[in-house]
Chain A
């Protein structure tokens, strides 16, 4: 059986050699190479994983092989979909939207008062560095086991990063631009809508992007403290208890796909909204 292990190592070496050749070769700046090199690296990691688990006979309760995880994933799509809807759509997404809107409105209010801004920014920065997941047991106690408590945890987790970033962003215009608005006799709302909000958007999206991962983490971790009999966090904790690790990994695969897709979606919206920003201009 250890043949498989040897072959997987051979594949890793061959793929690495190919990658080195491609990365230092002629077409190293082409889009295709930029895609193929990381993809090949990821694939070779998967192959080595498979080779180690199969070739060296690692028991499935310690580390299941990628192929076994994929089989479990395909066999349980219905359960996984229900968990996904419970945790992501009901808990994380609703909490994310509520938290983002609340943070945005509070940021607009805070921005109007210099005193409030100087008081709230350090507090917000401090809160953003705290282990906020710790409030999960309290909120589960208050809002019950269903998605409401998960959404509440997510609201608190995403609130401060978005608040701090939005307040920073609203200060991002420089004196010259604000003076120009004054010479146009623009009132507060006009200058907010036409100058300061658009200028704040790169900061706002920075906060929104950071929060995508936090939202998913918050919803999953909150389920460890109590949940209905579905949900990704519930499934992970119960299947770990049964040592059915292939199911746990399938759930992690779902979380990874959901997390990347969510992040990718927010990044896509960002590239549409802030098309004018230097970091969004197409390179070359």
Chain B
């Protein structure tokens, strides 16, 4: 509930109130994003000034101070102040330390929309191809992890032994940096002969498995004793209790933990793509960009990954809203 809606006087048109409610939610976000972009542009100037001055000197311009050694030891902001005329050159370098937003945007367009227009959407130089590789591993692993996680949660809720024996390990495993094993899993599975999608998907599955398990155990236990007692008075069997009370009650927890699991699965797939020698996928783009100093390419891959995460988590959120509304549980 935003204050804008609350402060609307009674009798004002509903459309206006709704508009103001949306504006109250969107305007601050837009302002913050704009501030971040502006800061980014400002940060580009001192980050790239040294390289820009070197290039300008090669082109014959007079730089203050003239010697490269002095410039190396000087502070970046001081250099900007003494050479303000070269500040604009920092925003359009080929290999900047910090590429400007429009450069990243141009690279993103060149490797996605531009490739589509030329009819080569799935060429190896297209980010769509790499994002697709990452996406398939992520979703495949996420499905495995979610199914396994829900299965384990059902077992834990229904069996006292599993609850006592497995649950502490499931929680403890969250404190262990599982991601560090990712390269080893990839290399070992490769040496056994398992290549392609499956090794990455297994890492994604492993990462999304525990959030789903822990969330679902919480969700399946969320009905209070009053509701459980009611089903007892109906003489409901365990499976009836599960299908008619526990499972519906767990849905909000299910979707929330799926969002966490999906984000974790994406991270797993990206990290899983790094040790295979940078063949395909967004992680491979990151690694290749870092090997060859292609900073613009790194940033473009990073934004593609962010976009992918936003789309995946947003899709789950949309399903969540639709499902919970149908079930009458929407907040």
Tell me whether B180 and A220 are in contact (CB under 8 A). yes
Tell me whether B28 and A118 are in contact (CB under 8 A). yes
Beyond A138-B299, A252-B181, whether A118 also contacts B24 by CB under 8 A is yes
A228 sits at the interface (CB 8 A):
no
Chain A, 237-255, CB within 8 A of any chain B CB = 237, 240-241, 243, 245, 248, 251-252, 255
Beyond A216-B177, A256-B176, whether A38 also contacts B28 by CB under 8 A is no
CB contacts (< 8 Å) of B179 on chain A: these are: 133, 217, 220-221
Tell me whether A248 and B309 are in contact (CB under 8 A). no
Q: In angstroms, how far is the closest chain B Cβ from the Cβ of A6?
A: 23
CB contacts (< 8 Å) of B234 on chain A: these are: none
CA distance A19 to B302 in the complex (A): 48
- A220 (CB) vs chain B CBs: closest residue: B180
Beyond A119-B31, A131-B306, whether A19 also contacts B298 by CB under 8 A is no
Tell me whether B191 and A115 are in contact (CB under 8 A). no
Tell me whether B286 and A263 are in contact (CB under 8 A). no
B289 sits at the interface (CB 8 A):
yes
Chain B, 266-285, CB within 8 A of any chain A CB = 266-267, 270-271, 274-275, 282-283
Chain B, 4-25, CB within 8 A of any chain A CB = 24-25
Tell me whether A260 and B175 are in contact (CB under 8 A). yes
- A209 (CB) vs chain B CBs: closest residue: B175
CB contacts (< 8 Å) of A41 on chain B: these are: 165-166, 169
CB contacts (< 8 Å) of A126 on chain B: these are: 310
Beyond A24-B161, A114-B3, whether A245 also contacts B259 by CB under 8 A is no
CB contacts (< 8 Å) of A212 on chain B: these are: 175
Q: In angstroms, how far is the closest chain B Cβ from the Cβ of A10?
A: 18
CA distance A22 to B176 in the complex (A): 28
Q: In angstroms, how far is the closest chain A Cβ from the Cβ of B321?
A: 16
Q: Would you give the 0/1 interface string for A106-149, flagging 1 where the beta carbon is closer than 8 Å to chain B?
A: 00000000111111101100100111011101101110000000
Beyond A130-B306, A131-B309, A135-B302, whether A252 also contacts B180 by CB under 8 A is yes
Partner of A62, one of B32, B188, B301: B188
A40 sits at the interface (CB 8 A):
yes
Beyond A134-B305, A137-B287, A213-B174, whether A240 also contacts B183 by CB under 8 A is yes
Tell me whether A118 and B25 are in contact (CB under 8 A). yes
CB contacts (< 8 Å) of B191 on chain A: these are: 61-62, 243
**Among A126, A130, A241, A243, which residue has the most Cβ atoms of chain B within 10 A?**
A130
CB contacts (< 8 Å) of B112 on chain A: these are: none
**Among A135, A137, A142, A212, which residue has the most Cβ atoms of chain B within 10 A?**
A137
A278 sits at the interface (CB 8 A):
no
CB contacts (< 8 Å) of A20 on chain B: these are: 161
B230 sits at the interface (CB 8 A):
no
CA distance A70 to B67 in the complex (A): 57
Tell me whether B169 and A134 are in contact (CB under 8 A). no
Q: Would you give the 0/1 interface string for B31-52, flagging 1 where the beta carbon is closer than 8 Å to chain A?
A: 1110010000000000000000
Tell me whether B286 and A134 are in contact (CB under 8 A). yes
Q: Would you give the 0/1 interface string for A141-172, flagging 1 where the beta carbon is closer than 8 Å to chain B?
A: 11000000000000000000000000000000
A55 sits at the interface (CB 8 A):
no
The number of residues on chain A lying at the interface, defined by a beta carbon within 8 Å of a beta carbon of chain B, is 64
Q: In angstroms, how far is the closest chain B Cβ from the Cβ of A162?
A: 16
A63 sits at the interface (CB 8 A):
yes
Tell me whether A42 and B161 are in contact (CB under 8 A). no
CB contacts (< 8 Å) of A233 on chain B: these are: 180
B290 sits at the interface (CB 8 A):
yes
CA distance A38 to B168 in the complex (A): 7
A11 sits at the interface (CB 8 A):
no
CB contacts (< 8 Å) of B172 on chain A: these are: 260
Beyond A130-B309, A131-B270, whether A259 also contacts B176 by CB under 8 A is yes
Tell me whether A19 and B165 are in contact (CB under 8 A). yes
Q: Would you give the 0/1 interface string for B293-325, flagging 1 where the beta carbon is closer than 8 Å to chain A?
A: 101001101100110011001000000000000
Partner of B175, one of A131, A221, A263: A263
A277 sits at the interface (CB 8 A):
no
CA distance A237 to B163 in the complex (A): 36
- A129 (CB) vs chain B CBs: closest residue: B263
CB contacts (< 8 Å) of A241 on chain B: these are: 187
- A239 (CB) vs chain B CBs: closest residue: B184
CB contacts (< 8 Å) of B302 on chain A: these are: 134-135, 138
Partner of B271, one of A19, A37, A61, A133: A133
Tell me whether B169 and A129 are in contact (CB under 8 A). no
B81 sits at the interface (CB 8 A):
no
Q: In angstroms, how far is the closest chain B Cβ from the Cβ of A262?
A: 8
B58 sits at the interface (CB 8 A):
no
CA distance A226 to B283 in the complex (A): 15
Q: In angstroms, how far is the closest chain A Cβ from the Cβ of B315?
A: 13
- A226 (CB) vs chain B CBs: closest residue: B290
| Selected A-B contacts with CB under 8 Å, 24 pairs | A23-B161, A23-B165, A38-B167, A114-B3, A117-B28, A122-B29, A123-B32, A129-B313, A130-B305, A130-B309, A134-B270, A134-B302, A138-B298, A140-B290, A213-B176, A217-B177, A217-B180, A220-B179, A225-B287, A225-B290, A236-B183, A252-B180, A252-B184, A259-B175
Q: Which residues of A contact B (CB under 8 A)?
A: 16, 19-20, 23-24, 28, 33-34, 37-38, 40-42, 61-63, 114-120, 122-123, 126, 129-131, 133-135, 137-138, 140-142, 212-213, 216-217, 220-221, 224-226, 232-233, 236-237, 240-241, 243, 245, 248, 251-252, 255-256, 259-260, 262-264
Minimum-distance CB pairs A-B, first 4: A119-B28, A137-B290, A119-B32, A41-B165
Beyond A241-B187, A263-B175, 7 extra complex contacts between A and B, CB < 8 Å: A23-B164, A38-B168, A114-B3, A119-B30, A129-B259, A251-B180, A256-B176
